[in-house]
Amino acid sequence: MRVLSGIQPTGRPHWGNFFGAIRQYIDLQDDNDGFYFIADMHALTTVRDAAALKQYTLDAALDLMALGLDPKKATLFVQSQVPEVSELTWLLMTGTPMGLLERCHAYKDKKEKGLNADAGLFTYPVLMAADILIYDSEVVPVGQDQIQHIEVARDLAGSFNHTFGETFKLPKAKTLDHSAKVPGTDGEKMSKSYNNTLPLFGNVKQIRKQIMRITTDSRAMEDPKEPEGDHLFQLYRLFASPEDVETMAAMYRRGGFGYGDVKKAVAEASETYFAEARARREELEANLDYVHETLRDGAARAREVAADVLLRAQKACGLR
């Protein structure tokens, strides 16, 4: 099965990116034909610095490979290295109702926060639809925030097929229970633009400090607490074994514990969890030629598939 997903090189990846999406890429790479890309064209809507975008793009490749994405099993590439995607975006754009894009939350949210909304941000879901459809993708592993965009891709594919005949496969989103919406240090969705992230890589001491600053409620220590609605508990659950999760849940319900201890447990569990990836990232940093070669090979493979699907779509709508 063709599985595809992408990650934006907009800064350092966080726990939400990993537990919502990247972990799925790795779990699915053994038994599927995985296509994973670094969405540098999407990132252009926020990163307006050429050197930074190049660095973030390389960083994202290092991050994904360090976390376990294996180029021998899956195809890893940079979005802009497949120009066919931009051509398909235009074809899809001509059949995209404005209202559909106006309802998309990425645009709506950013606009409500007073951030500048340009046409790139507004039409982002169409580029994302092209990203998905051009590889005949069937399954798209993502976090909850992207489900709506995958629905847009399905809608656009369905309406193109209806108008011009069967051309595109209809993709489906795939999310994970418990980690489709990882909370940030303030309890809101963990998000680079909300400044509430916990990074996967970086200085361990600094990350520990960030963990110790996670907001908690102000109820007395001895009060029993319901674990399910508590974002610190949700973060603990990302790393702990089912038995440890049960023990922690029982402790919450009994009351009489300190949030500081839970934070320390989260810090220790996360450090152990990512230790191997950190070591692997250092090795990859010393072998950048291999990383560049992987991205070149990945783009060549992705272009072959993309060229076929683009031609199919062009023929269908009368451009060839």
**Which residues does residue 140 pair with via DSSP β-bridges, in sequence order?**
173
- Written in H, E and C, the secondary structure of 263-286 is HHHHHHHHHHHHHHHHHHHHHHHC
Q: C-beta of 255: minimal distance to ligand AQP in Å?
A: 28
**With CB under 6 A as the contact rule, which of the stretches 17-25, 51-59, 122-130, 154-162 interacts with ligand AQP?**
17-25
Query: Contact between 235 and ligand AQP (CB under 6 A)?
Result: no
**With CB under 6 A as the contact rule, which of the stretches 175-183, 204-212, 297-305, 312-320 interacts with ligand AQP?**
175-183
Query: Contact between 71 and ligand AQP (CB under 6 A)?
Result: no
Name the strands in the sheet holding 139-141, side by side, starting at the edge strand that comes first in the sequence.
Answer: 74-78, 33-38, 2-7, 139-141, 172-174
CA trace torsion 118, 122, 124, 126 (10° rounding): -140
Q: Which of 159, 191, 210, 216 binds ligand AQP (CB under 6 A)?
A: 191
Query: Contact between 7 and ligand AQP (CB under 6 A)?
Result: yes
Please state the φ and ψ torsions of residue 156, each to the nearest 5 degrees: -65, -40
Provide the b/e sequence for 260-295 (b: ≥16 CB within 10 Å). eebbebbbebbeeebeebeeebeebeeeeeebeebb
Q: CA nearest 262: which of 254, 251, 272?
A: 251
The question of whether 189 is a catalytic residue gets the answer yes
Query: Contact between 193 and ligand AQP (CB under 6 A)?
Result: yes
Token pair in block for residue 6: 């992408």
Token pair in block for residue 166: 């069967």
> CA-to-CA distance for 214 and 19, rounded, in angstroms?
18
The question of whether 113 is a catalytic residue gets the answer no
Query: Contact between 200 and ligand AQP (CB under 6 A)?
Result: no
* Residue 8 or 123 with smaller CB distance to ligand AQP: 8
Question: Interface mask (CB under 6 A) for ligand AQP, residues 133-172, using x and -?
Answer: ---------xx-xx--------------------------
Given 174, 192, 225, 263, which residue is catalytic?
A: 192
* Residue 20 or 71 with smaller CB distance to ligand AQP: 20
Residue ranges at the known binding site for L-tryptophan:
131
Give me the residues that bind ligand AQP (CB under 6 A), please. 7-8, 10, 16-17, 20-21, 142-143, 145-146, 180-182, 189-193
* Residues designated catalytic: 110, 189, 192
